[in-house]
Chains A and B, each alone.
Chain A
Amino acid sequence: MIAADIISDGLFAAIAAMGFGSISDPPMRAFPYIAILAAVGHATRYCLMTFLGVDIASASLIAAFIIGTGSVWFGRKVFCPMTVLYIPALLPMVPGTYAYKTVFSLIMFLQEISSPTQGSEYLQSMIYNASVSFSVIFMLAVGATVPVFLLRERANSMTRGSRFI
């Protein structure tokens, strides 16, 4: 049952990554690798958060690091820069609901500004949502960029000798 949960999480994350990625027009040859990276990354984050109780920011950092390392490996195969593979794969993990709930909390706070109890509750929820969304986005990008810093030579010559131009 647990295995089925993990596999379905990876599968739906892969579909989400391909779909959201296709809005930004990636090369067709990159799609299978985007799907694999997204599935592995999202399933890792799911396992860390559900079974080990890791918080969302640290889990995102580890998942993004795995995606970034994978994109070093796959990028050479399809002659794509690492960002072309790892940005679409990270898209399903971008905390969109937290981001717009920050704005909602702000609007509600302004409406309840004269009531001290409710107003401060909304203010608290605004800070909570804002800090979660900012730190998750930061951790996602940093985690995926760390392999670039470690393997600078290899990471910067992904498209050298490309067969596709």
Chain B
Amino acid sequence: MTQEYVTEIADFIARYLSYMLGAGVHTSRVVRNSKRLGTALGVDVSIHTSQKTATLTVCGKDDTSVMNTRVLDIPAFPISFEWNADLSALSWAAYDKKMTLDEIRMKFDALVSKPKMNPVFVLFMASLANASFCRLFGGDIWAMLVTFTATLIGFFTRQHLTRRHVNHYIVFIVSAFVASLCASTALTLGIDTAEIALATSVLYLVPGVPLINGVIDITDGHIQIGISRLVNALMLIVCIAIGMSGTLMLVKDSLL
């Protein structure tokens, strides 16, 4: 095993690691998959992770004199369960089929360049989801319609602001304000369950995936990164509340 080969493996595992962590996979899975890839290629992999950076050491299995250590930045990708499933499967394929580094790298490039889900489809599905959420909280059909429309407009705002790389706290405040303002028309229209429509209109923004991931990380013993994820999600919830309180102050003069 030469130093060049170990460096090449470290280059690849660094990319693999940063893509998985950036796409919101919980830490113990990322560590386990990277170690499995390392075993498949005949090296030892050790990883230290935090919220925005990770440290990676790759060294030869028998010959620890060849090694490569680096600190890498974790890019902020949108959360992707598809990458989670595909890249996990890639690590097993590399382990079982004894793939070479070049084959693994080609497969990796093909997997991460797969097209994402159509944004219009996501927009429609999220609005439908929020409308049925309104129903779960006891809203009637008119409240569901108002919630559907409000979410459609709010989520559209969020998609557009995200595409223009606006700071994500500002994105959350603005889209919570827009969605709840649209839903507050239910009060003027005199719908019986208008309060429910107003309360559920912002729920599509709640960062459920980081919240659950954070607790999973804590139960797995990665307590630092788990708490970072929870704090991150908490900041977003505060932003939702700020955006929504703008609307409530305008239409109701009271928050609770």
Residues on A lying within 8 angstroms of B by beta carbon are 8-9, 12-13, 15-27, 30, 42, 79-81, 83-84, 87-88, 90-92, 94, 96-97, 99-105, 107-108, 122, 125, 137-138, 140-142, 144-145, 156-162, 164-165
17 A-B residue pairs with CB within 8 Å:
A18-B125, A20-B126, A22-B121, A24-B81, A42-B136, A79-B89, A83-B29, A87-B81, A87-B212, A96-B203, A107-B241, A108-B255, A108-B256, A141-B219, A142-B219, A162-B85, A164-B89
Q: Which residue of B lies closest to A138 (CB)?
A: B215
CB distance from A151 to the nearest CB of B (A): 15
Q: Is the CB of A103 within 8 A of B85?
A: no
Q: Is the CB of A103 within 8 A of B212?
A: no
Q: Which residue of B lies closest to A83 (CB)?
A: B26
CB distance from B177 to the nearest CB of A (A): 13
CB distance from A99 to the nearest CB of B (A): 5
B 232-247 to A, binary, CB cutoff 8 A, 1 in contact else 0 = 0000011011101100
Work out how many contacts link A and B, with CB atoms closer than 8 A.
Answer: 178
Q: Which residues of B contact A27 (CB under 8 A)?
A: 81-82, 85-86
Find B206's partner among A9, A99, A159, A165 (CB 8 Å cutoff).
Answer: A99
Q: Which residues of B contact A17 (CB under 8 A)?
A: 129
Q: Which residues of B contact A161 (CB under 8 A)?
A: 92, 96
CB distance from A161 to the nearest CB of B (A): 7
Q: Is the CB of A24 within 8 A of B79?
A: yes
Given contact pairs A15-B129, A103-B238, A165 touches B86 in the complex (Cβ within 8 A): yes
* Chain A CB within 8 A of B75 CB: no
Find B132's partner among A19, A23, A84, A160 (CB 8 Å cutoff).
Answer: A19
Total contacting residues, chain B, CB less than 8 A: 63
CA distance A37 to B17 in the complex (A): 29
Max chain B C-beta neighbours (<10 A), residue from A97, A140, A165:
A165
Q: Which residues of A contact B254 (CB under 8 A)?
A: 108
Q: Which residue of A lies closest to B137 (CB)?
A: A97
CA distance A101 to B241 in the complex (A): 8
Q: A16-B133, A81-B29 are in contact. List 6 more A-B contacts (CB 8 A).
A: A23-B126, A27-B86, A83-B26, A87-B81, A100-B244, A162-B85
CB distance from B55 to the nearest CB of A (A): 24
CA distance A125 to B255 in the complex (A): 12
B 72-89 to A, binary, CB cutoff 8 A, 1 in contact else 0 = 000000111111111011
Find B88's partner among A24, A81, A88, A141 (CB 8 Å cutoff).
Answer: A81
CA distance A160 to B80 in the complex (A): 20
Given contact pairs A18-B129, A19-B129, A99-B237, A157 touches B136 in the complex (Cβ within 8 A): no
* Chain A CB within 8 A of B227 CB: no
CA distance A96 to B172 in the complex (A): 14
Q: Is the CB of A22 within 8 A of B125?
A: yes
CA distance A165 to B93 in the complex (A): 9
Pairs A-B, 6 closest by C-beta atoms? A19-B129, A141-B215, A103-B241, A162-B89, A96-B206, A12-B132
Q: Which residue of B lies closest to A29 (CB)?
A: B85
* Chain A CB within 8 A of B250 CB: no
